[in-house]
Structure 1
Amino acid sequence: MSERFLRPTGIVSAARRIFRSSEASFILLAVGVGIAAGLLAAMLGATAHFFQSTLYGLQVDDRLSGLAHIPPVRLLALPLGGLVLAGIVLLVRNHKRTAIDVVEANALHGGRIPFRDTMLVSGQTLVSNGCGASVGLEAAYAQAGGGIASLIGQWLNLRRNDLRVLVGAGAGAAIGAAFGAPLTGAFYAFEIVIGAYTPASIAPVVAATLAAVVTARTLGATPYLIAATSSQSLATVDYLLYAVLGLVCAVVGIALMRLVSFAEASVRRTKLPEWARPIVGGTLLIPIALASPHALSAGHGALHLTIGGELAIGALALIFLLKCLASVVSLGFGFRGGLFFASLFLGALLGQILTGLWMLIPGVVPLSPVDAALVGMAALAVAVVGGPMTMSLLVLEATHDFGITAVVLTATLCSSALVRERFGYSFSTWRLHLRGEVIRSARDIGWMRSLTARKMMRAAPATALPTLSMSDFRQQFPLGSTSRVLLQDRSGLYAGLVPTAAVFADLGSAERAISELAILQNVVLSPEMSIASIMEAFDVSGADDLAVVDEDRRILGMLTEKYVRKRYADEIDRSQRDLYGEN
């Protein structure tokens, strides 16, 4: 999208003032975004189903993962989809930057998502899911909803926090429309995209998700309903047993995320061209699909078949392993998508498998496979995607049962706590971490990157030659004139720092060179270091002052720890005022 298009006109500037000053108008804007997100979610879902219906001969009510058998010739759709992705990779190969998703946009870029990135992520995910690869459409839903919100917000030139809330509202609205679950969509926005739950964001986010769900239902879109209900009354011991299930799901979730990253790294080490990877991946998925079609696509049809289907433990375990393998192969070889619904499906399988094993022990407290499936579904999804309230509300909106929801919340909190303690990332932030980012959630840390040493440093600090004598230094820099002096050799390069007080306190010969008292010769700041890195450098070195130098060690300026920490505190206060809508 061109800068000319995003440049505010007089009308847009007036609208921006209205949205900044009136909460009601901003809520109306969020409703408009929700309607757009609902339309996009319905379109994406219908398009993906059309692709799968055409390629696999599905009927209107069929789901690919719910088929009992797929003719082998139909499975050529998998490498065919990889071929289409290869073409997309070749088209964008000169675009070196990785596409920005909604989580990264809100964490680092103030909610700004380039229109091109929205089209790229949504298109690649649509092709991947449409050809049957073991990935979900949720990444496309969130990207499309958040992307259209970002585009509108940038056009209106909204302030940073308002844009982040609007992007979260758009992404959550699209997810809510896909599942027919407005509360799930709202908390997806709060926990996963915005990274905070504040009074200022409640009304616009909830309004957007409600508008999206109503829009999708009006269009006749089929939501991803999870048809299951709790089958027994729950006692205190059930809470304890399902809490343990939550911990097991956390371990499995961590293992799954590490397996995907290991597969991606292994594929990169093969030197296989990037464009060829999805073609090879699609070919590798064929034998998995022949063994069990339940491993294909996101897993909606298979979830309905397996919850309460009274399958044997061996059959459930086989489907679980094949689905894990299919997801790892799909993502490892370049198919685009996420593990949102796959983790729900895998968690449901895991809950039933563990319940079956538990019931083999004589005299134990009986557990319901359906309840275990619901608990495992939410707990594993929390481990992979994050958002304990999001997944708990998904179960509530699916079952309308507060009893099982309370147990699910217990398990999801246990799962979330263990993942944070032992791993620290969701699937989206883990992949960003592997790229070298420091994101652990969608909380806004972009301002920390923009606040660099170059922007904060004091230019033209006091400097002196290292060969200057003690007596000459005392005459040139009397006490009170400056607290420190940077040493700069005759080539103009940094040679250390001398505290003024240390020179005046020295009792040695006044003719000695001040270089003898120089400190921090090898501890410097680069101009592009962020404020977080700068504070870490001060902590490690124990210094009060540090020089800012370029690549050639030429002095650019100086920073004091006191000033840096004051700027950090001021920015934290400002961001909190923006977050809570205070003046």
Structure 2
Amino acid sequence: MNAVRRFLSGSVGVHLAAFRRERRPQLAALALLVGLAACGAALAFHAGVEALQRLWLGTDTAGFLAAASAAPWWRVMAGPVLGGLAVGLFLTVFLPNQRTSSIADVVEARSTGSADRLAFWPGVASAVATVVSLGAGASAGREGPMVHLGGTIATSLGNRFRLPPDGARTLIAAGAAGAIAASFNTPLAGVLFAHEVILGHYALGAFVPTVIAAAAAVVPYRALHGDVSAFAMPDVAVASLAEFPAFALLGVAAGAAAVLFQWTLVGTDLAARRLPLPLWARPVLGGVVVGAMGLAFPQVLGIGYAAVDAALRSDMAVPLLLALIAAKIVATAVTLASRFGGGIVFPSLYVGAMTGGAFGRIASSLVPSLASSHPVYAVLGMAAVGSAMLGAPISTAVMVFELTGGFQLSIALLLCVAMANATTHALHGRSLIDWQLEMRGILLRDGAHRHTMRALKVERFMSPLVTPAPLPEDYPRGTVLHPGDSLARALKLFDFTRAAEIAVVDPAAPDRMIAWATHVEALRIYNEALVAEAAERVR
């Protein structure tokens, strides 16, 4: 009996104490709250979009494409144009000098610890702008802003309960998992997305909260809407093993489509920035362009569920499928460049479905005896383009499985995804999220050590003077640091000067010394950050 007591108080007691010390029970409880909040936000988001669609075309999402196809031209144009005016005025008042938020903002907040990217009220304002945008026909998805809103809710709760940095990052990932799970009714994809895209690791300590958040988000959603796949698919299966070379070729084509999509998105955004227009007018101009495109191709208006469903049911001819690939890419690029709210997750799946559908029809016309049904290729294309755009092969593959119920296509789908990502890497070297972060100076692909050197600032390890003093006359003016300088610059300066300490001066008064930075402290904080990063990935 004493041995059992010693065992429980020893081994078990040590682990329980560590479990409580790391605040795991509290993190799990907060993940539950975040998941429930994400579900509520997703339901409100969906209801808001449908209410605006009814106001515009008199129908909900199920009848959106048919209504847009039959509506007079002025009604089709009115949605994006008036919606653009509403979004422009809303941004001018509530989000001046900003854009609506996206997945890249969540990844940036996780990697840099910048709470500004996930401030609560700007996050809510971004979600409201996206609801208006999508309800008015802007050609984008809802998942990116939902992921941001999930991260915003998680950050607010983390700050409220003063979670440690690693716990706060895990809770942000839980918010993303809940948002994806509730938006698509895809809990497995939500969990994997949170680890693959937001965290960049699969540590067990983070896995439990993300699973709790995804489950908490999807259970109420399914209680209200049922446990059904988003798209009603016929039974699909690979017709012949001889098709696998064709699946690999589809992956290459999908990767090329993803690269073209990325170039168009970023190029259009850079071009739009040079237009001399006030903020309120930008969505109006974008609404004119998207509305005009909607007159010719109503399938590009709004989120696009009906168009993807038609592609999966093989209801489109090759010329229309090819035209919709180009039209959706351009419409989404114009939508986001003109400051409408929206994301790129579902547009990527849309372009993939059209790419796969067109490829399948062409393949079946060339070798009809070996080709699988057209929906097989559409499903494979969805996963291939989506994964290459997001840089998330595992979570996107699982997302498409859950959306379509096509689990029996697993080997073919994984081959397509692998080839698409390899092609994108060969042609472009990065996903869209990586590219967006690089344009902000955040180079996560360089590795944790280089990112850490850029993210840590001198103010973290400098030793402030009790009283600021004039910089000595004989001190070299070109070898000083500022509090906002990066650790990378400090280490380069230590190496260049061979000095043990360097003066830190006030940026507003270059001759006023406010602190000393020592080489030893710089190396200490760098090593501590690397150790903490490594520990978080395996704990």
Give yes or no for the alignment of 1:575 onto 2:533: yes
Q: Which residue of 2 aligns with 1:121?
A: 126
| Match for residue 225 of structure 1 among 219, 226, 230 | 230
Tell me the residue number matched to 2:487: 531
Output the amino acid matched with 1:358. A
**Alpha-carbon distance between aligned partners in 2 of 1:198 and 1:289, rounded to the nearest angstrom:** 45
Q: Aligned equivalents of 1:542 and 1:366: distance in 2? A: 68
Relative to structure 1, the CA distance from residue 387 to residue 263 in structure 2 (aligned partners, 3 Å threshold; closer, same or farther) is same
What is aligned with 1:87? 89
Residues 136 and 399 (structure 1), Cα distance of their counterparts in 2 relative to 1, 3 Å cut: closer
Check whether the contact 2:352–2:385 (CA below 8 A) recurs between aligned residues: yes
Change (3 A) 1:403 1:219: closer
Whichever residue aligns with residue 106 of structure 1, its letter is: R
Matches within 5 A, 1:34-113: 34-59=35-60, 61-64=62-65, 67-75=68-76, 76-92=78-94, 101-109=105-113, 113=118
The alpha carbon displacement at 1:417 in A equals 3.8
Distance of aligned partners of 1:223 and 1:48 in 2 relative to their CA distance in 1, 3 Å threshold: farther
| Superposed displacement of residue 55, structure 1 | 0.8
Q: Specify the SS of the correspondent of 2:63.
A: coil
Alignment check: 8 A CA contact 2:356 2:379 kept? yes
Q: 1:86 offset after TM fit, Å?
A: 1.3
Alpha carbons 2:238, 2:372 under 8 Å: kept: no
Counterpart CA distance in 1 for 2:492 and 2:407 is 46
Larger Rg: 1
In structure 2, C-alpha distance between the alignment counterparts of 1:166 and 1:221, rounded to whole Å: 27
After superposition, the C-alpha distances for 1:386-422 in whole angstroms (9 at most, x for unaligned) are 3111111123223444431222122223323443454
Q: Does 1:416 align with 2:374?
A: no
- Alpha-carbon contact 2:311-2:354 (below 8 Å) kept: yes
2:147 alignment partner, one of 142, 145, 148 = 142
- 1:264-413 → structure 2 map (5 Å cutoff): 264-361=269-366, 365-413=370-418
C-alpha deviation, 1:350, in angstroms: 0.5
Q: CA deviation at 1:443?
A: 7.9
In structure 1, how many angstroms separate the alpha carbons of the residues matched to 2:100 and 2:70? 37
Instruction: Encode CA deviations 1:3-51: one digit per residue, 9 max, x unaligned.
Output: xxxxxxxxxxxxxx99754534432331222112111111111111111
Secondary structure, in 3 states, of the residue corresponding to 1:366?
coil
Q: Could you tell me how far apart the structure 2 residues matched to 1:358 and 1:544 are?
A: 67
Is the CA contact 2:356–2:377 (under 8 Å) kept in the aligned structure 1?
Answer: yes
Deviates more, 1:64-73 or 1:131-140: 64-73
Which is richer in helix?
2
For 2:211, the aligned partner's letter is V
Q: CA–CA distance in 2 between the matches of 1:26 and 1:459?
A: 35
1:312 Cα deviation from its structure 2 partner: 1.8
Does the CA-based 8 Å contact 2:155-2:171 persist in structure 1?
Answer: yes
* SS of the residue 1:274 aligns to: coil
The answer to whether the 8 A contact 1:249-1:379 is kept is: yes
Do the aligned partners of residues 224 and 78 (structure 1) sit closer, same or farther apart at CA in structure 2, a change above 3 Å counting?
farther
CA distance in 2, matches of 1:336, 1:564: 41
Q: Is the 8 A contact 1:452 1:530 kept in 2?
A: yes
Q: 1:221 to 1:115 in 2, by over 3 A?
A: farther
Matched, 1:157 2:115: no
- Matched residue of 1:309: which SS? coil
Deviates most, 49-58 or 552-561: 552-561
Residue in structure 2 matched with residue 199 of structure 1 by the alignment: 204
The whole-number CA distance in structure 2 between the counterparts of 1:304 and 1:410 is 23
Paired residue type of 2:106:
V
Counterpart of 1:127, as a letter, is V
Q: How does the TM-score come out when normalised to structure 2?
A: 0.84
**What does 1:456-475 align with in structure 2 at a 5 Å threshold?**
456-457=461-462
How far apart are the structure 2 equivalents of 1:65 and 1:445?
Answer: 52
Aligned to 2:15: none
1:23 equivalent in structure 2? 24
**Matched-pair contact (CA < 8 Å) for 2:35–2:217:** yes
1:8 aligned residue = none
The worse-fitting range, judged by mean Cα deviation, of 542-551 and 311-320 is 542-551
1:37 partner letter: A
Question: 1:135/1:454 Cα in 2 relative to 1: closer, same or farther (>3 Å)?
Answer: same
Q: Look up the SS of the partner of 1:135 in the other structure.
A: coil
Query: Any idea what the Cα deviations from partners look like across 1:464-503, whole Å, max 9, x if unmatched?
Result: xxxxxxxxxxxxxxxxxxxxxxxx99845516xxxxxxxx
Give the match's secondary structure for 1:26: helix
For the Cα contact (< 8 Å) 2:311–2:375, is it kept in 1? no
Say which SS state the counterpart of residue 384 (structure 1) adopts: helix
SS at 1:336 equivalent: coil
The range that moved more, 448-457 or 52-61, is: 448-457
Within 2, Cα distance between the matches of 1:247 and 1:99?
A: 31
CA distance in structure 2 between the partners assigned to 1:88 and 1:172 by the alignment: 28
- TM-score (normalised: structure 1): 0.78
Q: 1:115 to 1:59 in 2, by over 3 A?
A: closer
Q: Which amino acid letter does the alignment assign opposite residue 111 of structure 2?
A: A
- Using the alignment, how far apart are the partners of 2:472 and 2:519 within structure 1? 28
Stretch deviating more after TM superposition (315-324 or 525-534): 525-534
Given candidates 456, 470, 476, the residue that maps to 1:494 is: 476
Check the 8 A contact 2:50/2:60 in 1, yes or no.
no
The aligned residue for residue 432 of structure 1 is: 437
SS in 2 for 1:49: helix
Amino acid at match of 2:30: L
Does the aligned pair in 2 maintain the 1:38–1:212 contact within 8 Å?
yes
Aligned pairs (5 A) from 1:525-564:
525-535=481-491, 547=502, 550=505, 552=510, 564=522
User: RMSD across aligned C-alpha pairs, in angstroms?
Assistant: 3.4
Asked whether the 8 Å contact 1:348–1:376 carries over to 2, the reply is yes
Say if 1:322 and 1:284 are closer, same or farther in 2 by CA, change over 3 A. Answer: same
Question: Where in structure 1 are there 5+ consecutive unaligned residues?
Answer: 1-16, 461-487, 496-521
Say whether the 8 Å CA contact 1:247–1:418 is kept in structure 2.
yes
Deviation of residue 238 (structure 1)?
3.5
Equivalent AA in structure 2 for residue 530 of structure 1: S
Quick one: structure 1 residues 50 and 221, their matched pair in 2 at CA, closer, same or farther if it must change by over 3 Å?
A: farther
Deviations 1:246-295 (A, max 9, x none): 23222221221221121122122121222210001101112211101101
1: CA distance, partners of 2:61 / 2:339: 29
Asked if 1:213 is matched to 2:218, the reply is: yes
User: What letter matches 1:92 in structure 2?
Assistant: F
**Residue 230 of structure 1, CA deviation:** 5.6
Q: Which amino acid aligns with 2:37?
A: A
Specify whether residues 242 and 38 from structure 1 end up closer, same or farther in structure 2 by C-alpha distance, changes over 3 A only: same
Whole-Å separation in 1 of the counterparts to 2:379 and 2:288? 33
Change (3 A) 1:97 1:29: same
Distance 2:20 2:93 in 1: 39
**Count of matched residue positions in the alignment of Structure 1 and Structure 2:** 511
Query: Offset of 1:149 from its aligned partner?
Result: 1.8
Indicate the SS of the match to 2:225. coil
Counterpart-to-counterpart distance in 2, 1:32 and 1:215: 13
Contact 1:228 1:398 in 2 (8 A): no
